[in-house]
Amino acid sequence: MSERDLDDLLDRIVAEYSDQVQAGKTPRHGAVLERVPREARPGLERCLKMIDAGLVQGPSPTRKLAPGVEFGRYRLLREIGRGGMALVWLARDTELERPVALKILRPGLAFEARHVDRFRREALAVAKLSHPNIVTIHDVGSADGYHYLAMEYVEGPSLATVLEALPDKRSTKADALIRASGIPALVQRDETFEQVLARLFASVAHALQTAHELGLVHRDVKPSNILLKKDGTPVVADFGLAKGEEDPALSLTGDTLGTPYYMSPEQAWLSDARIDHRTDVYSLGVSFYEALSGRRPFEGKTALEVFEAIKTSVPPSVRSVAPTTSKDADALIRRAMAHRPEDRYETARALAEDFEQVAQGAPTQARANQGSWLRRVRTELSFLRSGRPLEYKSARTFLGLPLVHIVRRRRPGEPLRIAKGWYASGEIAIGGIATGGIALGGIALGGLAAGLLFSWGGLALALGVAFGGMALGVVGIGGIAGGALAFGGMAFGYAAIGGLARGVYAIGGDASGRYVVTEGREDPEAVAFFEQDWLGMFDWLLQAARGDG
């Protein structure tokens, strides 16, 4: 059963059950619950108990939502959208003779006050706002058990619909946006694809600034909540999650969350941390990233996987996904999506100003302030200090590998991940320079390290120099060392230097081989071999063995 079919079934069952209770009948819960999948039964049973207790009354089953049904002054025409919380119908205001978008709370949700409060909060939030880029609320009310909002009807598509209609590989030509939206006025003369989007997002940022100045944070900024009028004007809709900045974050144990893909890290932690206007700055940056590249910066098979990615990962640069993106747009997104709120734009107005710069093809403040690539990396990895799990993969690559790939601590229940890059760091790391529990690379440092040139670890293997508790290499240096040149507590090799040394040439406290320097024995060939210039660094050991040092 699809999610849409299940929602419709639950609404129908609740209405029928409420009608039977009002008629004096006492339906058995078990028979009712068997009509829905097991995972939907706890929520449905809670609704049934509330109806039994007389705490709530469901909508009449004879008032099913359908074309022609009237709610006071509003006549339903056709359904135009739906979500987990509400249905949206195109309706006719019979008094003012104008079309409206009637947003109707799902009947099953009306049984819990928090859902109704959130629904009414949207009307109260938008009623405070007056801005050409914010949808207008005309009315709020209830009828026959249904709660509704009457809003300005925006005839054009949402930005999400437009983005879905674009090809996966983004174009630099703005005509693609006209074809996807069906709105010729969306594009102004000589604008590029990026410039059109930046101009639209600038208007959205200014609208959010107006909300922020009144102490309201939208909390669910995303392309589907940006509607496009027929003249190309964007308007922000769905302030259902809007709250004042003094309110705590929404959580899984509290109200309904925003869409995971666009949530800020502080939202994704699902904690009681304070959420301020900078969460909207972040979400708008995510939306711009998606618009330019055709992909979201964070993905996952489940909401929890998306949450973990947002909390612990730095997204790849938008230029690594969409190479035609300008450096100024890339810098704007980096700053808007900074992991720590204090590293983002201080206000939505400052973000809007940089959007306007991108729209004009002019330098952004974000790019002017971002500094060298090293400073950018430090900023992106600033949350290393938190000690939380993280993953960082640099946008810059060479021969298909990122310059830097760092994996720190596994997420709960997550399988072991491998860090691969020219510099790689993780539980298992493979790279030019690799550090980790198991490290494989040109230069490797780890518990088990295997390096082409150099390795350092508990067990170190190298074709070059190996340092470790047990070291095997052309040059091996360690507690137990093996190699063409071996230097350690126990050394085995062509030339061996150590407490216990075994080799063709051996020097040490207990040395044996063809040519040996040890207590009571100094073969001239061994002395000559170990006095060569290329072994000058070990002169001190030779002197010590002779008793000269």
Catalytic residues: 220
Least Cα distance to 278 among 199, 218, 189 occurs for 218
C-alpha distance from residue 426 to each of 60, 376, 423 (Å)? 59, 21, 10
Least Cα distance to 86 among 14, 130, 148 occurs for 148
- Could you give the CA distance from residue 357 to residue 424 in angstroms, rounded to a whole number? 37
User: Given the structure tokens 């005309």, which residue do they identify?
Assistant: 138
Helix (H) or strand (E) holding 243: strand 243-244
- Could you give the CA distance from residue 226 to residue 293 in angstroms, rounded to a whole number? 18
CA angle 297, 206, 264 (to 5 degrees): 30
Determine contact, residues 485/494, Cβ cutoff 8 Å. yes
- The 10 Å Cβ neighbour count of residue 450 is 22
Which ranges in 426-531 belong to alpha helices (H)?
A: 524-530
First and final C-alpha spacing in the chain = 85
C-alpha distance from residue 184 to each of 162, 196, 198, 204, 230 (Å)? 13, 12, 17, 20, 9
Characterize 350-386 residue by residue with b for buried, 16 or more Cβ atoms within 10 angstroms of its Cβ, and e for exposed.
bbbbbbbbbbeeeebbbbeebeeeeebbebbbebeee
Output helix, strand, coil percentages for the chain, rounded to the nearest 5: 35, 30, 30
Q: Is the torsion defined by CA of 438, 443, 445, 448 positive or negative?
A: positive
The token duo for 538 is: 């070990």
Q: At what angle do helices 278-293 and 327-336 cross, to 10 degrees?
A: 140
- Could you give the CA distance from residue 222 to residue 438 in angstroms, rounded to a whole number? 41
User: Strand locations in 278-317, DSSP E?
Assistant: 313-314
Residues making up the chain, counted from first to last: 549
